[in-house]
Structure formats: C-alpha cells, structure tokens
Homo-oligomer: A and B are copies of this chain.
Amino acid sequence: MEGKGIDGKLLLLEKSDEISSDEISHLAIDIGGSLIKIVYFSTNSKCSTKDEAPALSKERQEVPNGDLNYHILSGRLYFVKFETSKIEDCIKVLASKKLQQCGAQCRHSHAVDKIKIKATGGGAFKFADLFKEKLGITLDKVEEMESLVAGANFLLKAVNREAFTYIGGQKEYVQIDQNDLYPYLLVNIGSGVSMIKVDGEGKFQRVSGTSVGGGTFLGLGKLLTKCKSFDELLELSHQGNSRVIDMLVGDICGGMDYTKIGLASTAIASSFGKAISENKELEDYKPEDIARSLLRMISNNIGQIAYLNALRFGLKRIILGGYFIRDHAYTMDTIAVAVDFWSKGEAKAMFLRHEGFLGALGAFMSYKDENADLMPLQLVEQQPPKSSSCIVDRIHNSTCVHENETGAVDCRLRVSSSFKIYDEVKRC
C-alpha cells in the first residue's frame, strides 16, 4: 500500500497501522475500476518523511470570530491507494481503525445507520453492500464527475505548486490565477478516460471520454509482457524503444519529405505496425519495447482526443487527472507533445501532483455542514520555497520525485457540532 502526504512525498505505508487510528476524523473513498483511493484527515504527526512535520494540534480550537459552533482542527491530509481487486485488504485496514471500532461499538445503538463515509467512483455502488456487511458503514455516494471536478478545483485553487506543465523534459509549476481558472478541460485518466468541461464550482459537463486508458495500458501490458503491476510496466517502458515495433513515417516512405502534410519521418505512422511484416512472435520482442510502444500509443491518443475536445469548446487549458501519469516523464512528455502538436502550440497540457485523488478529494470536500453550506476544509498556504530553485523542478527522468520540495502543507478542518461523522466518531 502506498500513500502520499499533501506535500507530494510518497509515504510508504507498509503496515495497516500506518493509517493512524484514533486520529482519523474524516475519510473519503473513491472506488474505481482499478484502484481504490482514500483521502483522510489526521491530526497525527507520525510521518515517515524526513522533512519537519508541521506543528499539529489535536485540540479543537475556537474559530477566531468566536463562533462556538465551529471548531478548527489542525492536521494533515493523507492519500492512500489500494488495488480494487484487493478490496478485502482495504476493508481489513479500515476495520482495524477506530472509525470502524466506533461503528462496531455503536452497532446496537440508533447511531449505527448514521455512520457514513463519503464515497465516489463506480465501486461506491458496486461494493456498497460489502462495506455495510463487513464494516457496518454506509457509503454515502457522491456523484463521480461532481467529485472529480470538486477535487480538481480544490487542488488548483488551494494547493500551491500543484499544477505544472512539462515541456522539453522540464517541469514548470504554474499557479493559475483563480479569476482565470475557468473554463478548462479536465481529463481524468482512470481505467477509462473521462473528459469534462469545467466552467466553475459545480458547473461542468462530461463532454467526451475514451475506453483507451489506464486499464488498457495495464490490461494489454500484462498480456504482452507478463508484468504484474502498473508501476512495473511503467518502469519497464522507461528502458524501451518504441521504434522497434512502431512503424514510423520514415519506415513507409523511405526518404520522402512528408513535412508538407505536417509529418516528420520519425512520427509514428502505425502503432505496433512493424509487427505486421516481420516473422517475429511475441517472445522475440523485448518487453520494454512493447511497454514503451503501448504507453506512447495510449498517451498520444489521449492527448489527441483531449485536444480535439478542448478545441471544440475553445479551451486553452487541459488538466490531466487520474492515476495514469504518476509523474512518469515519458507519459507527460508524450501527452504534452501531442497536445502541443495538434493544437499548434495553442493549448497546454497541465499535470497535477495529486492527480490520482481528485475523486476522493472531491468526496472529502462534500462533507458539509448540514446547517450551512460551508466548505469544511481550509488550507493554510504553503510557505514560499526557501530558494528560487524550488520554484521550478527540473527533472530529467521519472525516478526523481520532487527533490526540491521541502514545504509541507498544513491543513485545517473546520468542524461544526452538527457535523455527522465527526460527532459520531467522537461520541463513540
């Protein structure tokens, strides 16, 4: 199981204990076709990263304006994921936590039915009975697109150094002017791909999508290379050469000048096209070359369809979410180049550090005070980077994980006494 703090550092949560128990006050879940993503808030300062943990407060605080109905909890948001196929593991981990213990203790009280976790993704429907049966918890369903959009809007507005472009092998963080954020195209690459035109808070429309997404990469990749996991396949692709199997324009045309129709001789004419004419079998190809061609085919296709949809609605900004990219340089480069190529530089692909957690974050944000329509989450802005070198991360391969990032993001949760989950948990 892997997780990461809001600062983008990977926290390896090797034991279930690593999701701190009594500190969890709010938790939301996004159950997709391939992955379960969980976002939870904890006041626990336990952290396996080396950077200094922010001063965290377990205590309820009165809000400055003296409104006693509201309290502020300081803490940190955590992000963890499981494979959907291992949902039993996920349930076991949750079962061992106080949130669940609470559910169990309250089983015979009237409160039992009120223990709800905000949940989104198709699996929130499919696995609702399982959660009820095993954990006594009701999944309080939040519409998937709504969650994705809320999560993306939150990240883009509230979290510093969240969005970045990737041009010529260089990452450049972009702080988008909030007055200039909308409209944008949100491309969420999960097992499949959804493309959503976002016009504002809660204002959006699913305009397109494609079935050629992360599930295709891993599904086809497993069949072709015997890799067992997405990350293994990504790592493999890093060492491969797509020219071995892809048919390039130059392979078809010899020395012909194809530039007048806008194609370089190194452009891919046909993905996997070289495999048609050679007397080679699957075993004769290196798995890394196959993984590379597959990744390029899918990334390029997503970039192209995203661009065509952005063009359709005059959107200059394409924000990529989902758990497909994973900070992988070649994937980002392929998508960014595809968008740049097809749009002739007019549109830009932008990536998110917390790309995989849009849905879960959005579901988390939907914990609202029932008496007032107030966002429960408030973020204290990250401290400015200590040196200018922190502003732009220049990464040259996919293994570099935000070396220059040191600032953690404090998170404050505004909680009212009428706020269901919090109260349920605390009462127990």
Q: Which of A222-263 contact B (CB under 8 A)?
A: 222-224, 226, 245-247, 249, 251-256, 258, 261-262
Chain B neighbourhood of A258, CB < 8 A = 122
Report whether A270 and B214 are in contact in the complex, using a CB–CB cutoff of 8 Å: yes
Chain B neighbourhood of A215, CB < 8 A = 247, 269-273, 276
Chain B neighbourhood of A191, CB < 8 A = 247, 252, 269-270, 273, 276
What 0/1 pattern do residues 12 to 53 of A give for CB contact below 8 A with B? 000000000000000000001110000000000000000000
Interface size class of A (residues with CB under 8 A): 35 or more
Report whether A282 and B224 are in contact in the complex, using a CB–CB cutoff of 8 Å: yes
| In the assembled complex, A274 has its CB within 8 A of some CB on chain B | yes
Report whether B275 and A223 are in contact in the complex, using a CB–CB cutoff of 8 Å: yes
CA distance A34 to B293 in the complex (A): 19
| In the assembled complex, A218 has its CB within 8 A of some CB on chain B | yes
* Given known A125-B253, A219-B270, contact A247–B33 (CB-CB < 8 A): yes
For the complex formed, measure the closest distance between the CB of A210 and the CB atoms of chain B, giving whole angstroms: 7
| In the assembled complex, A213 has its CB within 8 A of some CB on chain B | yes
Report whether A211 and B277 are in contact in the complex, using a CB–CB cutoff of 8 Å: no
| In the assembled complex, A145 has its CB within 8 A of some CB on chain B | yes
- In this complex, what residue of B is CB-closest to A263? B209
For the complex formed, measure the closest distance between the CB of A129 and the CB atoms of chain B, giving whole angstroms: 9
Chain B neighbourhood of A213, CB < 8 A = 270, 273
20 more A-B contacts (CB under 8 A) besides A33-B251, A85-B277?
A: A34-B273, A34-B277, A122-B256, A125-B254, A126-B252, A190-B270, A191-B247, A191-B270, A211-B246, A211-B268, A215-B247, A215-B272, A216-B271, A216-B297, A219-B245, A219-B275, A223-B282, A223-B285, A226-B281, A311-B312
